[in-house]
Structure 1
Amino acid sequence: MKMVTSREFNQDVSLAKRLARMEPVIVTDRGRPTHVLLSIDAYRRMSGQPENLADLLAAPESADALDPADLRGAWGPR
């Protein structure tokens, strides 16, 4: 895992985002880990969240009812 300081993160967010596409990035504050930055794909794999709309619609709980609010949360602006 890559580590960046809070200062480095604030000065170059784009670099942190590029690094997070390859592996989680730990953000430190005064030398102590405080946050982890993950790509959305890594987060979805870790959380078990469907990766695409077809997976979301095929989920067993979608047979009961599909709430449009759920789609906004899963597929909102990136």
Structure 2
Amino acid sequence: MATMTAREFNRDVSAAKRAADQGAVVITDRGEPAYVLLSIRDYRRLGESGTSLVERLSMDEDIDVEFEPVRLDLSVPEL
């Protein structure tokens, strides 16, 4: 996945479009991912099955996933 800054995107939109032809382009704003540029082909492919994002991210109930949450002991400093 390609990445470019918002400034680079604004300076050279054509380069961003060429990169999006190869795959998703993450556009950052102040160093943080802010947007994703997709070709229309990829965008349509994402929505062609008619399933929602929640359905796409949901797992089958019969799949067992091991998960060990890390315990965080947070305290508020006294003033």
Please give the range of the TM-score, normalised by the shorter of the 2 chains. 0.5 to 0.7
Q: Going by fraction, where is helix more abundant, 1 or 2?
A: 1
Once the 2 structures are TM-superposed, how far is the Cα of residue 4 of structure 1 from its aligned partner? 0.2
Q: Distance in 2 between matches of 1:42 and 1:23?
A: 8
Cα drift, residue 7 of structure 1: 0.1
User: Matched residues in 1 for 2:19 and 2:43: separation?
Assistant: 14
For structure 2, list consecutive stretches of 5 or more residues without a partner in the other structure: 50-79
CA RMSD of aligned residues (A): 1.0
Q: 1:5-46, CA deviations, whole angstroms, 9 ceiling, x for partnerless residues?
A: 000000000000000001100000000000000000000000
Question: TM-score, structure 1 length as denominator?
Answer: 0.61
SS at match of 2:14: helix
SS in 2 for 1:4: strand
Is the aligned partner of 1:18 residue 2:18?
yes
Amino acid at match of 2:35: H
CA distance in 2 between counterparts of 1:14 and 1:47 reads 25
Highest CA radius of gyration, 1 or 2? 2
* Counterpart check, 1:9 vs 2:26: no
Instruction: Give, as a single letter, the amino acid of the residue that structure 2 aligns with 1:39.
Output: S
Uncovered stretches (5+) of structure 1, i.e. residues with no partner? 50-78
Matches within 5 A, 1:59-78: none
Aligned-partner Cα distance in 2 for 1:14–1:46: 23
